[in-house]
Amino acid sequence: MKLSVVIPVRNEEGCIGKVVSILAEELKSKSIEHEIVLVNDNSTDSTARELNELFCSQRGIKIIDSPAPNGFGRAIKTGLDNVSGDIVVIFMGDGSDDSEDVVKYYNKILEGYDCVFGSRFIKGSKVTEYPKIKLILNRLGNKLIQLLFLIKYNDVSNAFKAYRIKAIRAMQPLVSQYFNITVEMPLKAIARGFSYAVVPINWNGRESGVSKYRIQELSRKYFFSILYVWLEKILLKEEIRKDRVIMPPEDRKNCNA
């Protein structure tokens, strides 16, 4: 099965070349058919030039420009509109995610799961240099999600996840424009009854650049997305389950692949 890795990129001139090169080498070493979809989210530094250099030097690279205005969610949706793989992984361009975990996700999907969600907070995971305030808010927010959706998964807000393409199609439309898309996507997949596995993953603090995450600004957006999917799940339960089974013929044939 072909793997599409979507990487939203905004002002990552200091690390995107290294991140993509390591990921591409890891996927090639495991003989995984793949494409890496790099979405330039209206970068204002030399990121665009570095992306073009990657395109010229690496096979399997696709460069997409996300329409203005910039926004993490907008960039993700632009990337999803341009994938050609059977499995889609959302991967961060700041070097925080581990390329070996992409292979772990891919192999887990091949076991038959519709989605694979990583957790940085279970046995076997390794986290370095996670900001303390952000960690506290992360744990509180994920606890709220667990209570509302009655799930044990404890790292819903982490962007780094894998989905079969049929799950991506079933969760449309995606409405989040910013980092809150990181909770909208997995919660919609769970609400629609898609199967998922949870695996431990590694996370590293960025080595260069500046974080685009603004806690105060995004808290209300996360809260909106959580409540939006929860209300959809409660009030439109029958409708979203019907939408799950209405899919293109080629997806229906491959449901058990």
CATH of the domain at 102: 3.90.550.10
Tens of pLDDT along 173-191? 999 999 999 999 999 999 9
pLDDT of residue 41: 97
Note the pLDDT of residue 205.
85
Average pLDDT over residues 97-109: 98
- Rounded to 5°, angle at Cα 116 from 114 and 118: 165
Reply yes or no on whether the pLDDT at 212 is more than 70: no
pLDDT at residue 213, as a whole number: 53
Q: How far is CA 97 from CA 28, 75, 118, 119, in A?
A: 18, 18, 10, 11
Query: 89-103, 181-195, 242-256: lowest mean pLDDT where?
Result: 242-256
Question: Residue 253's pLDDT band (boundaries 50, 70, 90)?
Answer: very low
Q: What is the pLDDT of residue 230?
A: 96
- What pLDDT sits at residue 18? 96
Percentage, residues of the chain above pLDDT 70: 88
More confident residue, 99 or 214: 99
pTM of the model: 0.90
Average of pLDDT values for 50-68? 95
Model confidence at 169, pLDDT cuts 50, 70, 90, reads very high
Q: Match 């305030």 to its residue by tokens.
A: 133
**Percent of all residues in the chain with a pLDDT value above 90, rounded to a whole number:** 82
- Determine the Cα–Cα distance for residues 60 and 4; give it in Å rounded to an integer: 10
Coarse DSSP helix, strand, coil percentages of the chain, rounded to the nearest 5 percent: 45, 15, 40
**What residue spans of 90-178 are helical by DSSP H?**
99-110, 132-149, 165-170
| Residue 163 CB-density burial (10 A; 0-12 exposed, 13-18 middle, 19+ buried) | buried
> Of 128-132, 143-147, 226-230, 253-257, which gets the smallest average pLDDT?
253-257
205/226 Cα distance (integer angstroms):
26
- Orientation angle between helical segments 181-191 and 132-149, nearest 10 degrees: 20
For residues 75 and 42, give the distance between their C-alpha atoms in angstroms, rounded to a whole number: 9
- B/e letters for 86-97, b = 16+ CB within 10 Å, e = fewer, are bbbbbbbbbbbb
Task: Give pLDDT, residue 219.
Answer: 84
What pLDDT score does 103 carry? 98
Into how many domains does the chain fold? 1
pLDDT, mean over the chain: 90
The enclosing H or E element of 172 equals none
What domain range includes position 120?
3-253
pLDDT of 211 > 70? The answer is no
